[in-house]
Amino acid sequence: MRVCHKTICRYPLVRGLCASPRKLPRPLQRLRRADRASRLFDRIDVPAHLRKFLGQLGESFWILPAALTLLGIVGAVGMVSLDRSGKVPQWLLENAWVYNGGGTGARTLLGAVASSTIGVAGTVFSITIAALSLAAGQMGPRLLRNFTRDRGVQITLGTFLGTFSYALMVLRSVRTQDEGAFTPHLSLTVSILLAFVCVGTLIYFVGHMAGRINVDTVVELVSDDVRSAMKRLTTDERGPMPAGDGFWADAVAIPDPRRGYLQELDAGGLADWAASQRIAIRLLVRPGDYVFPGTPIALVKPPHAGAAAAIRNATALGDSRVSSDDLAYPLRQLVEVAVRALSSGINDPNTAMSVLDRLASSLCELAAMFLPSGVHLRNGITALVVPSIDYDGLVDAMFHMIRQNAAGNVAVLIRMLEVLAAVASVEHAPQRTSALQRHADLVLADASRDISTRLDLAELRRCHAEFKPIKVNDAVGLPQVATATSAGIAPDC
C-alpha cells in the first residue's frame, strides 16, 4: 500500500507541523517540499486500527502532562545523581546564583515549591473545567475536543505537575547534619528555575484561556480544521468516475455485526487486497457514517469467502463521529456554532454571520479543486468504491441547518445571500453554481414565508436578484472557462 503525505497529516500529533511548515527546521522544510519526502511517506503502511489508535492517542488530554511529569521525575533522579557524583565544578557551586544553603533550608524551599505548584495545578484544572462548561453551553459539546487537545493547556498542566514531581523527588534525597548531611545544590537551583518557569507559564495560561473562550477564536480554530480537511481530502485532478448501478447488479451484500461510527478506513489496503483476489468491493458507508448491526456494509462482486474478514480488518468503528476522512465532520462543528448562536437562549446573529463568512471562504478555496470520487483503480480496473460527498451534499451540510434556524432573521439571511454570491463569482462549473443558486432560492422562499416587513423582504429580494448576474462568468468580465460537460468529461459532483 502506498500512502501519500496527506494521509500522515491526518494524525493530530503531526498535523500541526504539516499544516504550519514554518514551525519545522529549515532542513525539514526542504525535505517536506521535495519530491523525495512524498516518496518516503508513500512507503508507510498504516492499518485502520493502528490509525484509529494513533488518532485517539493524539486527542488524549493526559499524554503530554504525563510525559512532562515523567520528565520531571527522571530529571530529578539525574540531577541528584550528578550532585552525588562530585563531578560538579567547585567554581560552579560557589557561584552566587547557585543555592548554597543547608539541609533545613533546602527542605523548606522544596516543600514550598512542591505545595505551591500542586495547588496552582489544581487551580489550572478548575479553570479548564470552567472553560469547558462555558464552551459546551454556548458553542456545543462536540467542540470540547478542541479544548482538550489544546497544547497550551496540556503544557501548562504538565509544567506544574512536572515541577511538583521534580521537587518531591529531590526532597527525598536531602539530608540534615543529624542524618548525614547531603544537600544537592545544583538540583535545588534547578528547582528554583522551574518555579520561575511555572510563574511565567501561569501568566501565559491566563491570557491563553481568555482568548480560547472567545467565540471568534473558536470559530477560526474550527474553520482551520475545515480548510485543512479540504486540502487533505481534495485533489487537483478529477478522479475516475464510478461504474453505474448495473455493474453491481449481481453483487453480494456483506452484513456487518458491529455497530458504531466508521472512524478509519484503510482504503488503499482494501483495494490492494481486492485487486489481488480479482474482485470488486463497493462500500455502502463512508467515513463518519453509522454502521448498524446486521445491515450490509459492502457489496462484493464476484462473491468471495474472505471479503467480510478483509472489510473488518480495513475498517475501525468507534462511539463518536470523529474521522480524519470525513469532510462533513468539521463542517458540522462549524455549523453547530452558528445554530446555537441563532437559538433564542443565546441570540447572537453576529456569530452566525461570522460562521457564514468562514464557510464561504472554504468554498472559494474549493473552486480550484476536485472532490474525491471514491473510486480506487488497480491496473485500470475498479477494485474499491467508497461513497464520497459531492458538491451538492457539501453545500447542503453548510447552509441547510443555518437557513432553517435563521428563519425570520433578516440580517443572517441577507448575509447568506451575499456569501453565496461571493462563492458563485469564483465558481466556473455550472453544476456547482446551480447548487449555489438552489440555496439562494431556498433563502428567498423562507424569507417570503416568514418575514412580514415589506422593506426587509424587498431588501432580500434585491440581494437575491443580484445573485443571478454574478454567477454568470461573462456578466462580471471573467474569462470563459471550458466546463467539464463541454469538454466531454463527466461533471464533478
Look-up: residue for cell 526542504? 30
Per-residue CA distances from 169 to 114, 115, 327, 363 (Å): 10, 13, 47, 55
344-354 pLDDT, tens per residue? 878 888 989 99
Mean pLDDT, to the nearest integer, of 472-483? 38
pLDDT of residue 113: 92
Res. 32: pLDDT tops 50: no
Specify the pairing of strand 280-283 against strand 296-301: antiparallel
Cell matching residue 335: 455549523
pLDDT of residue 37: 36
pLDDT of residue 292: 94
84-96 pLDDT, tens per residue? 887 878 777 777 7
Cell matching residue 141: 459539546
pLDDT of residue 97: 82
Q: Locate the domains of the chain by residue range.
A: 5-45, 61-213, 219-236+328-369+390-476
Cell matching residue 120: 496552582
* DSSP H or E stretch at residue 226: helix 215-233
Cross-strand partners of 299: 253, 282
Q: Are 439 and 393 in contact (CB under 8 A)?
A: no
Q: Are 372 and 385 in contact (CB under 8 A)?
A: no
Mean pLDDT, to the nearest integer, of 90-111? 82
The dihedral of CA 209, 210, 215, 221: what is its sign? negative
Res. 334: pLDDT tops 90: no
Is the whole-model pTM more than 0.85?
A: no
pLDDT of residue 491: 37
Cell matching residue 201: 507559564
* Three-state secondary structure call for residue 382: strand
Per-residue CA distances from 255 to 102, 237, 264, 278 (Å): 73, 34, 18, 21
- Residue 11 burial class via C-beta count within 10 angstroms: exposed 0-12, middle 13-18, buried 19 and up: middle
Look-up: residue for cell 453547530? 336
Look-up: residue for cell 495545578? 121
Res. 34: pLDDT tops 70: no
DSSP-derived letter for residue 176 is -
Per-residue pLDDT band at 192 (split at 50, 70, 90) = very high
Q: Can you tell me the distance from the alpha carbon of 281 to that of 286, in angstroms, rounded to the nearest whole number?
A: 13
Q: Hey, what amino acid is at 270?
A: L
Residue 255: CB atoms within 10 A of its CB come to: 12
Residue 315: CB atoms within 10 A of its CB come to: 26
124-134 pLDDT, tens per residue? 888 777 777 77
Range picked from 149-153, 355-359, 407-411 for highest mean pLDDT: 355-359
